[in-house]
Amino acid sequence: MVIITRSRKYRRYTCFHWPYILLFSLIFLTFPRTLFGVVRLGDKLPVLQNIGVVPLSLSSSFSDDGDLSRKTEHLRTAFSESIRNSFRFHILHDELIEELWQSYAGRKELIEEYALSAFAHLNITLNDDVLVFTVRFLSPELKPMLQESEKWLRKDFILANYEEISQWVSSLVYRLINRIPIDVSITSVQGKYLTLSGGFNQGLQVGDDLDLIRVKIKALHPALHTWRSFSTRRLGKARIVESKENVSIAKLVHLVRENSVEIGDGAKSQDLLTRLRFARKEQKPSPRRSGEKIVMPPIYSEAEGDKASPAKDQLEIPLPPGFSSPAEWLASDQHVKKDPQGQVVDGKDKDLDYYLTTFADDLSVYVGQWGWSYSGPGSTGSKLTWYHIMNTVGARITRRIMPYIKYGFGGGLGLGKTQKNRGAYVGYDGHARLYWEDEHYLLDGLVQKLMAGGHAAFTGIGVSHEGFGGFDAIFGGIFLGLKGQFAMEESGSPYDWFLEFNLTPLSLGRVGYGNETHLIRSSLGWKLIWGAYQKHGARQLEWGAGWSYGKHSFFDDSSKLTSMSQYSLYLLGRWRF
């Protein structure tokens, strides 16, 4: 009787608790993923496309050290510039990252709305008299994925100038990026066509050949749990047929086996110039600890995909004339550059390129023929003459200020003779717009971007020796546009094209005729603009051409209706920063 009871109790015990045993087993199996980050051994390398640069992290000891605080202010800019100048990722706007990265809800929004892949982070700690610099990629859950660290004596860091610090930070960043064994990742597979997580901003051009590779995590760091090594398997080859700013389309050329390519696999381009540029920059000596040997950063090998053997050198930082020790120089405070008001300033020289890249993503210039006609009292128009064949010149810039919001402004001047050859004219045109721009892929890539927003123009013309004296006005309205890409059959070269439409029903201005000036009471105007550029890489001059046609009708204070038509044909030049 006792034995049966025990047996029943035992059976009740096992039957009642087996779901808990199964649950604990499941938790145990998934525990390494939760603890070690977003990937485990054997997982595919995550797609690193949209990167956010988080603010610099400093240990609390920096707040009591004025010399270090001044120097590290420059590091914030140097680190961000190094990530951007690598041209290997699409960098999300800094203000967006600063607002959202610290909270769970914010990071969730970055993932869902902006497809965040990872954060780039620079951390600096001070241990005794040694600075430890750690640059790393963090997962959206803020778990370290890949990192590089280096130490620097405090006194030697303070003695280094701003240019040396910038070069050293760039070298550390490139060492981190060169550990990634692929250039771009495959984000979608549609038959024989692949979508890649990089475009011409990352150095990919139409016609580039790609090696398709599957990369998996082979080993993790035993203490940090970051990626330590990778295993690779070749899948085939592809060729880029279309390239946009941060996305490319490639066509499969050869596969090791059918249907072997999947989302998340990688691609490596033998034509990618940024990899060679990383290697060249890493060969430059950077400021190190005085009296110690320098270990050069590993050089990426194009052929093998490995790192070359470290080189060694020695570098001494000389003191300025008149100082016998670093302490004496630091006490003089002459190592810090200040403005006339005594404020510490960045030691980097600000050239024209610096200011242009601060306010513009691209700069366009045009030169060509501008003509017009006026109907109303004193009707007249422009006359085409051989010495005014290129009678207009102008420029405009655009800049992205938020993930989907851009601004643009520009203007131009024109001059020439009137139809009756009695008078002359001088005209001007300025515009500003704030608009939404989103990427799409329509009509097999012919249309790739849609634009909509507000448009304002300040324009006018002065005419001499004619019944029509000219006009000047401020117009306001809406702006719509399309952008896309096409390739010529013969050369295969890609071209960027754009189509813009301005509708301006709002006006404030005046028009002159009959030796009198009349106020504009109401108006309605529109303008259509089209153009195309032959696409090249970033920081290369791109040439193109375009035309425009527009018309404005005015009701003035004399209740008379007048209208002005304008056209232009021009050559275009564009420089993308």
* CATH number, domain with residue 242: 2.40.10.410
Q: What pLDDT is attached to residue 270?
A: 64
Domain boundary among 276, 293, 321: 276
In the predicted model, what is the mean pLDDT of residues 542-566? Answer: 92
Q: Provide the β-strand partners of residue 539.
A: none
pLDDT of residue 544: 94
Report pLDDT for 31. Answer: 41
The three-state secondary structure class of 272 is coil
Cβ–Cβ < 8 Å for 264, 250? no
* Mean pLDDT, residues 106-126 taken together: 87
Instruction: Write the secondary structure of 472-484 as one string of H (helix), E (strand) and C (coil).
Output: EEEEEEEEEEEEE
Question: Rounded mean pLDDT of 137-159?
Answer: 84
Tokens 């601004």, located at residue: 407
Q: Do 432 and 542 lie in a common domain? A: yes
Average pLDDT of the residues in 84-91: 82
Least confident of 188-202, 268-282, 432-446, 494-508: 268-282
The CA distance from 148 to 136, in Å, is 6
Number of structural domains (the chain) is 2
Is the domain of 458 the same as that of 571?
yes
Residue 440 pLDDT > 90: no
- Please tell me whether residues 494 and 385 are part of one structural domain: yes
pLDDT at 393 over 90: yes
Of the ranges 75-79, 210-214, 320-324, 530-534, which is most confident? 530-534
pTM of the model: 0.46
Name the β-bridge partners of 313.
Answer: 294
Return the minimum-mean-pLDDT range out of 41-55, 311-325, 396-410: 311-325
Q: Are residues 256 and 403 in the same domain?
A: no
Domain identity same for 263 and 363: no
How far is it, in rounded angstroms, from Cα 166 to Cα 347?
10
Residues 530 and 381 grouped into a single domain: yes
Q: How far is CA 281 from the centre of its chain?
A: 21
From 255, 276, 297, the end of a domain falls on: 276
Asked which of 54-68, 109-123, 145-159, 166-180 is least confident by mean pLDDT, the reply is 54-68
Helix (H, G, I), strand (E, B) or coil at 38: coil
392 and 489 share a domain?
Answer: yes
The pLDDT assigned to 321 comes to 54
Look at residue 254 and tell me if it is in a domain: yes
Domain assignment of residue 320, yes or no: no
Task: Give the burial class of 350: count Cβ atoms within 10 A of its Cβ; 0-12 exposed, 13-18 middle, 19 or more buried.
Answer: exposed
Q: What is the CATH number of the domain that holds 393?
A: 2.40.128.100
In a domain, 44, yes or no: no
Q: Are residues 370 and 495 in the same domain?
A: yes
Q: Are 361 and 462 in a shared domain?
A: yes
As a whole number of angstroms, the distance between CA 325 and CA 320 comes to: 10
User: Mean pLDDT across the stretch 175-185?
Assistant: 85
Secondary structure (3-state) at 246: coil
Instruction: Check whether residue 416 and residue 526 sit in a common domain.
Output: yes
State residue 459's pLDDT score: 93
Q: How many CA atoms lie within 13 A of 70 on its CB side?
A: 20
3-state secondary structure of 159: helix
Residue 198 pLDDT level (bands cut at 50, 70, 90): confident
In a domain, 155, yes or no: no
Q: Which of 89-103, 298-312, 328-342 has the highest mean pLDDT?
A: 89-103
486, part of any domain: yes
Least confident of 123-137, 382-396, 546-560: 123-137
Residues 497 and 406 in one domain: yes
Query: What residues pair up with 474 in beta bridges, in sequence order?
Result: 458, 508
Query: Can you tell me the distance from the alpha carbon of 274 to that of 281, in angstroms, rounded to the nearest whole number?
Result: 10
User: Which whole number is the average pLDDT over 541-548?
Assistant: 93
Q: What's the pLDDT at 292?
A: 35
CA 147 – CA 402 distance, rounded (Å): 28
> pLDDT tens-digit profile of 413-425?
999 999 876 789 9
Q: Is the pLDDT of residue 38 over 50?
A: no
Question: What are the tokens at 203?
Answer: 């150095």
| Mean model confidence pLDDT for the chain | 76
Percent of the chain scored above 90 by pLDDT?
Answer: 22
Q: Is 10 exposed, middle or buried (0-12, 13-18, 19+ CB in 10 A)?
A: exposed
Within a domain: 69: no
369 and 271 both lie in a single domain: no
Domain ranges, residue 260 = 184-276
Residue carrying structure tokens 């050239």: 351
State both tokens at 451.
Answer: 């634009």
Q: How far apart are the first and last CA of the chain?
A: 89
Instruction: Tell me, yes or no, whether 264 lies in a domain.
Output: yes
Q: Which helix (H) or strand (E) holds 2?
A: helix 2-36
In one-letter notation, the amino acid at residue 159 is L
Domain boundary among 226, 246, 276: 276
pLDDT per position as a tens digit, 452-485: 999 999 999 999 888 888 999 999 999 999 998 8
Structure confidence at residue 446 (pLDDT): 84
- Which tokens go with 436? 């939404």
178, with CB counted inside 10 A (0-12, 13-18, 19+), is buried
Contact 431, 409 (CB under 8 A): yes
Q: Give domain status of residue 131, yes or no.
A: no
Per-residue pLDDT reduced to its tens digit, 226-266:
888 888 888 888 888 888 877 888 888 888 777 778 888 88
